[in-house]
A and B are shown apart, each in its own frame.
Chain A
């Protein structure tokens, strides 16, 4: 057993942290998210060329650096600390996660494009009527010639305005909530019949409502087996959730550090407010939540290569801890900053907003508690 980082992983963390410290300050980020496009393609280019992190978690035979989940964890935690909005999760973790397992030439070529910073992805998997259940898919893909014809609507597709490609869940067989019958398709965002409405999200990213109207794709658009993509969807979303947990850890650390620092400097009643025991205990409780979250992020990443049930259990457990921590640490960070915490001008509120959305991304605390129960307790009973 070894819970330490390798020299390479430490180096990776340091180089990402140094780059973000230099180029991704609060003001630069603020200007970027307020700009018409909402992100900085030049930062993405630097991720590919200067830092080489877009290929960090791909196998060497695909042109990557041969890293795995721990490399993703290291990168995402730093992204959390800097509130990076660029679509690393959608492109590298999710898009790359599907493509590297697809086994087609087209997929392999796209992995190369991802690593080079040429292709960006968004995962169109949510539908309003399904809430957090990714198997409830009403979007359909019907056989059409040698390929398929996709029709349906997807909700709040994070990063879609920046994506060159979409990965879409669609039903090829079965009834609306059956896991069997769900398939995955690669869709060029510029394809005929794809229409999007783009908007900002409250945490400074961009998302789209997407309508697919008889969008025709070739046979090579299929990722994984027809009707049988569910296990792959589970695997890649679990990896995405683990990555989100790592990002959350970066966000939580900044919320906690920022609060400790602020209370040390803020004087009321003739002393720093950090001298009040009731605030000290609150910050200790926040600290405990942060540490528990980091532990769960480690735990989840280590279990990503286990059996499907073990992996799912670990990931859901981590998301429950981290969802709760996001609420507790976020709310108390604002409270302890007082009125200053309410201002757009201070970074703390921006971390709070990101933490708030992470709480619900790919399933709320309730969703993952239920999933954990069904995998762990229900089986014992």
Chain B
């Protein structure tokens, strides 16, 4: 057991670092720095550059575009991306749907959908939660009935409402959980459907979150006709796909590398912001202690993640242990935004959203938007299975209680 990187890993790190430095779009960097809202093209721009290089989907099977990197290389990859603060690759297609496709999809489905995900050509969104089915996802009611179309082909006619659909306003396609058998047990009557978001009968309505952003949406489905061949896996066995997807969603959720980057940023802020005594905040014993505690917490999570990855690399998929990563990862992300807001002092209060670029900054640049980030990050302990649900999973699946 050691932490040393082999010379070839160091070479790899240099290669990755140089590639990011030379290829990361400058326009994207500027938008990020200014905190501007991203367009669909912005979101895809870095993805497409990586796709050309063959690096957009490192964790995929080699035949579909994976890189066959070692766990160490993948670790270096995420470290370097966090270090350079690159825009994260959207998870919906690449890390949520794709594993379902290559595990449960037919060869035809894989060939039809995986390349568009890999190359950043098709934007996917998730249709899981419903107003009445959140933590209790299996109680979902969106109904899909088999019909024969006028063209003689078989379709599902889908009716219902999905909610919390992240960035659904940009989506070309969505993966949906729908009820195909209303009479069996909740988990047993669900199917996994891929739906073209341009199909007539789909309405996407924004949900504005408490910091004022538009990230999530309601999706209404009104007599939406979906070809039967868009179903993944067997009818009424979509829950199996859903569970696999949720485990993958959780394993990526720890966000260790990004949190390390944000912690570094917090230290920078605390080095420049004033303390009550005229010194710097990082010399304030109270604040320093909190940063140290958080750093230790993050170190523990990093090693827990490394141990989980090591388990994965020996052939085990992400198991219920990934719930630990979700709980601790999101708690740390939240704590980071909490301390950033605290560091900003008075300048946490201004809300410059909507005032336009001509308004100019108020207070130090690093204070800009910290309150919004704090409010927004409260979602992380709610989404992807709330942290209460994650504790239930560990209690049942790991501790056997």
Contact with A207, one of B207, B278, B349 (Cβ below 8 angstroms)? B349
Q: Mark B311-354, 1 if CB is under 8 A from A, else 0.
A: 00000000000000000000000000010011001111111100
Contact with B135, one of A156, A200, A268 (Cβ below 8 angstroms)? A268
Give the residue name and chain of the A residue nearest to B129 (CB): A339
Contact with A349, one of B132, B374, B375 (Cβ below 8 angstroms)? B375
- B276 in contact with A132 (CB, 8 Å): yes
- A366 in contact with B347 (CB, 8 Å): no
> Could you tell me which A residues sit within 8 Å of B by CB distance?
126, 128-133, 136, 155-156, 158, 176-177, 197, 199-203, 207, 209, 267-270, 273, 276, 278-279, 327, 331, 334-335, 338-339, 341-345, 349-350, 352-353, 356-357, 360, 364, 366-367, 369-370
Also in contact, A352 and B375, with CB within 8 A (given A156-B349, A370-B286): yes
B355 within 8 A of A: yes
Contact with B349, one of A133, A334, A345, A357 (Cβ below 8 angstroms)? A357
Give the residue name and chain of the B residue nearest to A327 (CB): B338
Q: Closest Cβ of chain B: how far from A37's Cβ, in Å? A: 15
- B383 in contact with A339 (CB, 8 Å): yes
Also in contact, A364 and B342, with CB within 8 A (given A335-B381, A370-B286): yes
Q: Mark B375-401, 1 if CB is under 8 A from A, else 0.
A: 100110111001110010000000000
- A339 in contact with B363 (CB, 8 Å): no
Most chain B beta-carbon neighbours within 10 Å: one of A132, A201, A268:
A268
B164 within 8 A of A: yes
Q: Closest Cβ of chain B: how far from A163's Cβ, in Å? A: 16
Also in contact, A133 and B276, with CB within 8 A (given A202-B371, A335-B378, A339-B383): yes
Number of interface residues of B (CB under 8 A): 55
Contact with A203, one of B276, B342, B349 (Cβ below 8 angstroms)? B349
Also in contact, A156 and B276, with CB within 8 A (given A342-B378, A353-B375): no
Residues of B within 8 Å of A342, CB to CB, are 209-210, 216, 378-379, 382
B66 within 8 A of A: no
Q: Closest Cβ of chain B: how far from A178's Cβ, in Å? A: 11
Give the residue name and chain of the A residue nearest to B347 (CB): A156
Also in contact, A353 and B388, with CB within 8 A (given A197-B362, A202-B351): no
- A200 in contact with B351 (CB, 8 Å): yes
- B134 in contact with A268 (CB, 8 Å): yes
Also in contact, A344 and B208, with CB within 8 A (given A128-B347, A133-B277, A370-B286): yes
Q: Closest Cβ of chain B: how far from A139's Cβ, in Å? A: 15
- B348 in contact with A357 (CB, 8 Å): yes
Would you mind naming 20 contact pairs between A and B with Cβ atoms under 8 Å apart? A130-B276, A131-B276, A132-B276, A156-B350, A199-B351, A199-B352, A201-B351, A202-B372, A268-B134, A269-B135, A327-B338, A334-B382, A339-B382, A339-B383, A341-B378, A342-B210, A343-B210, A344-B212, A357-B348, A360-B341
Could you tell me the distance between the alpha carbons of A150 and B22 in the complex, rounded to whole angstroms? 52
